[in-house]
Amino acid sequence: MEFRKVFDTIPEQFDKWRPRYCDEAFADIIRHSRLNEGKSALEIGPGTGQATEPILKTGCDYLAVELGEHLAAFTCKKFHAYKNFHLINADFETCDFGERKFDLIYSAATIQWIPEAIGFSRTFELLKSGGTFAMMMIRSDYRSPNEALYQRIQRIYVEFFHPETSYTQKLEYSNVVNYGFTDFECRKYQSKRVFNSDEYIAYIGTHCDHIVLREPCRSKFFSGIREAILEAGNRIEIEDTIVLYLARKP
């Protein structure tokens, strides 16, 4: 199974454990796009809606395009009370949007799954003149606050973490300027999460390359991580940097 489709196998776990984005980032997106009831937004790959509700609350005409069948069904049920919520279960790369154009197109940890030439060029075509392209992702650091625990966990990764396919997705966000976008900028926000051993296992169990681990390494890997955290006081801290990239279509 393609990594970009593997999340569709765990919609409930994905919704519970994937990190959320901070209010400040959404406020900046809404200000940049001047989003309101008279404007439209397209979210690429909402998953289970970690970055959806703040945009819906503006009253804008919201549309999501979600590849995963189970993720799409879960998210439709989650936001059914919003009359301005609409979702297409389709692949952004090939989806037919007809003549629709948007004031805001955004993604949260999704655009990197799409080849740059397709993702950036399609987004440019679908945006109205003056429209905003926003891309969010989270860089998580559990080394700085837990150095000794980090080193032990790294040894467990070396011994037992052997997925058949490695995660290699990478995107140079600044390349949007090569596709006609202007005013590219990066904004960063800080937050923190704290987990016990079971919570941390549940969280990393939603990572694409962790989901596909096979036995016997899978059980040994997760057991080793759990034991390491328990022996460290049953606490692991993560320092998150929420990164927001913004660009505009002239």
Give the tens place of pLDDT for each residue, 7-58. 999 999 999 999 999 999 999 999 999 999 999 999 999 999 999 999 999 9
Is there a domain that residue 16 lies in? yes
The mean of the pLDDT values for the chain is: 96
How many domains, in total, are found in the chain?
Answer: 1
Tokens of 27: 């406020």
**Cβ-based neighbour number of residue 224 at 10 Å:** 18
Which residue in 55, 109, 105, 100 sits closest to 82, CA to CA?
55
Residue 229: inside a domain: no
What's the half-sphere exposure (Cβ side, CA atoms, 13 Å) at 73? 7
- Does 214 fall in a domain? no
Q: In this structure, what CATH number is given to the domain that contains residue 79?
A: 3.40.50.150
Is residue 153 one of the residues assigned to a domain?
no
Q: State pLDDT tens for residues 59-71.
A: 999 999 999 999 9
The share of the chain scoring above pLDDT 90, in percent, equals: 94
228 within some domain: no
Residue 220 domain flag: no
Domain, as residue range, for 8: 3-140+167-192+239-248
Query: Looking at the domain assignment, is residue 112 inside a domain?
Result: yes
pLDDT, tens digit, for every residue of 143-196?
A: 999 999 999 999 999 999 998 877 777 899 999 999 999 999 999 999 999 999
Residue 155 lies in a domain: no
Determine the Cα–Cα distance for residues 200 and 77; give it in Å rounded to an integer: 27
With beta carbons less than 8 A apart as the criterion, state whether 223 and 215 touch. no
